[in-house]
Amino acid sequence: MDLEHLKYPVGRWQKPQEYPLVQIQGWINELKALPGQIESALDGRGDEIYTYRYRPGGWTLRQLIHHVADSHMNAYVRHKLAFTENQPRICAYLEQEWAKLEDVEMINPKISVVLLGALHTRWTVFLESIQNEQWDFQFLHPEHNRLISLKESVSMYAWHSRHHLAHIKIALSQPS
């Protein structure tokens, strides 16, 4: 596989032109499914897999799984802020630095899978409560220097879920 495919195995995220409610529900369903899909991929495997990488120079499976939990916790909070405040400026974080923190090295990634299960249960119930024009509520992302709507963000995180699930599967299929 070439490096671009290893970096973006499901392709790069592309902003949708339209946001039909049926598509939004599909993205929510992807978020619902992710924790179980990760758990199934890891099922029956030993802890040695957490050193595997999906590409040379990429994160280890340990870092990757903890990253998904960190990222999705931030997304959940961002979504609730956008829903309850008028275009709040959200807080960005340094993903690469978070991946180096002590908890990433010390905590078994299965803890982050459990965390994702609970988080995605809360997050998807919240998302399913959003009605029509409420999907247009926005937050200001300082890195992108623009407003991002809830509907755009949920599409990003559905992609993010597919993206990193593919990374996990690649890492498990060719340990390094």
Rounded to whole angstroms, the Cα distance separating 41 from 68 reads 15
pLDDT at position 175 over 70: no
List of residues 6+ apart from 73 with CB closer than 8 A: 115, 119
**pTM of the full structure:** 0.95
Mean pLDDT of the chain: 96
> Coil, helix or strand for 56?
coil
Percentage of the chain exceeding pLDDT 90: 95
pLDDT in tens, 83-139: 999 999 999 999 999 999 999 999 999 999 999 999 999 999 999 999 999 999 999
In 3D, which of 159, 170, 165, 155 has the Cα closest to residue 79?
A: 155
> Coil, helix or strand for 35?
helix
